[in-house]
A and B are shown apart, each in its own frame.
Chain A
Amino acid sequence: EAGVVQSPRYKIIEKKQPVAFWCNPISGHNTLYWYRQNLGQGPELLIRYENEEAVDDSQLPKDRFSAERLKGVDSTLKIQPAELGDSAVYLCASSLRVEDTGELFFGEGSRLTVL
């Protein structure tokens, strides 16, 4: 069974440019998460989806970050415009209904470098 797929793996952009990350969760997983991980730190939750509904986006910097999950499957996280401090690894994870299990399945992440 395929795991969580993310793209691109690496992205280098100049500040003020836009960037987008894509995530394809495990088939059948209703819950999807986007985390941001800075160097040497644990993942920080940005947004959580239950199907197509964003149920927790309190940590998403909404002035420049946006996310969507079309049809409750794939998801896209966008940053516009990017700032130097956005350099990090962006991780996508999915799980069955959050009430059913505590196991999150993570993708390999998308490493963003903003110059």
Chain B
Amino acid sequence: LAKTTQPISMDSYEGQEVNITCSHNNIATNDYITWYQQFPSQGPRFIIQGYKTKVTNEVASLFIPADRKSSTLSLPRVSLSDTAVYYCLVAQYSSASKIIFGSGTRLSIRP
């Protein structure tokens, strides 16, 4: 099971770009990298997933270097509503896989 390490907390300001980096040194060949967002009193919500290079959707971008030992979630022009906990997961999506969450990064956005 690949273990992930991410900062416990981060602070930023509205309108800034926020980058959250996750380390997963033991990532396996078949592992995908997935990020979730969780607001208070809600379940986690899928943000983005990737295997290598760069993935972009309407919410965020995910940058994965060639060695795949880390990944960076990039949130462009954050707003107060982006204040949440962000989880980085690595998992193989097979019948034998476990989808395990770490402790996440608590992101606080200030006006």
Contacts and interface: CB of A to CB of B under 8 A. Distances in A.
Interface string B70-107: 00000000000000010100010111011111111000
A109 B42 contact: yes
A45 to B, nearest CB: 6
Interface residues of B, number: 24
A103 B42 contact: no
| Range for the number of chain A residues in contact with chain B | 20 to 34
Interface in B20-61: 32, 34, 36, 41-46, 49
A55 B91 CA distance: 16
A63 interface: no
A107 interface: yes
B43 A103 contact: no
B98 A45 contact: yes
Contact of B44 (A43, A99, A101): A43
17 contacts: A33-B99, A40-B103, A42-B101, A56-B98, A91-B43, A98-B94, A98-B97, A100-B93, A102-B32, A102-B46, A102-B49, A102-B91, A103-B46, A104-B46, A106-B42, A108-B43, A109-B41
Interface of A: 4, 33, 35, 40-45, 48, 50, 55-56, 91, 93, 98-109, 111
Interface of B: 32, 34, 36, 41-46, 49, 85, 87, 91, 93-95, 97-104
